[in-house]
Structure 1
């Protein structure tokens, strides 16, 4: 699969040739419940509806469980646009989505301290 940096979607001089919200048809709300840590994975079912090249690129990144944030970074699209694209793929059965498994709550003090300690070591 070509890199999202290759092909007609980007131009060295002009940058992105298609504006991000054009990709999602102006939609800013996904139909599937996705957050940045949601994991999506291809089902192997080909979409029946005609979808754009960004949908194809996103689907190509989902051979294994992949986070919404990672796909957004690879596509170089805002997270909300990526969520709309991925929810289109979930709706047509090409992807499955699930919340990440976590043994910690987002406000778990020990987890937050471990993250802070790791950041301090990197700086």
Structure 2
């Protein structure tokens, strides 16, 4: 049997300082609240309609500068895609789900502001002549 432990009394000077109150989000909602808000995603993606066949690895490239008539999300997407980026990267940069990204990109494809490309696929098997040249070079050593 273990003896009971004595609790040490603390004087008033030894009490830890009170914790500051946790920061509260403003009444309008913070950035985190907007990302979880399904109404915001509906406004961005619009009504369900025909969507382009896009994969996570499909590369998106801008064809033109953003015109003044596009939404802020589409303008950012057009600025990001001056160099080819995959749909997964765009989704991460804009902090939007894949479904909302496909809707945004579909609208831009139909407006001919972006181009969707299949990713560059490397050959599954290397060129036989290259392998033979390497093998002959190693044999000569």
Q: TM-score scaled by structure 1? A: 0.63
Alpha-carbon RMSD:
2.5
2:64 to 33, 41, 44: 44
Alignment of 1:56-95 (within 5 A): 56-95=75-114
Q: Which runs of 5+ in 2 are unaligned?
A: 1-28, 125-141
CA apart distance, 1:28: 6.5
Deviations 1:13-48 (A, max 9, x none): 744476212211133752x22111000111125558
Check whether the contact 1:43–1:94 (CA below 8 A) recurs between aligned residues.
yes
> Highest relative contact order (Cα 8 Å, sep 6+), 1 or 2?
1
Moved over 4 A (4+): 45-48
Alignment of 1:7-18 (within 5 A): 11-12=30-31, 14-16=33-35
Q: TM-score scaled by structure 2? A: 0.56
1:24 to 42, 45, 51: 45
CA apart distance, 1:62: 0.3
- Count of residue pairs brought into register by the alignment: 94
Q: Does 1:97 align with 2:116?
A: yes
More strand by share: 1
Check whether the contact 1:29–1:80 (CA below 8 A) recurs between aligned residues.
no
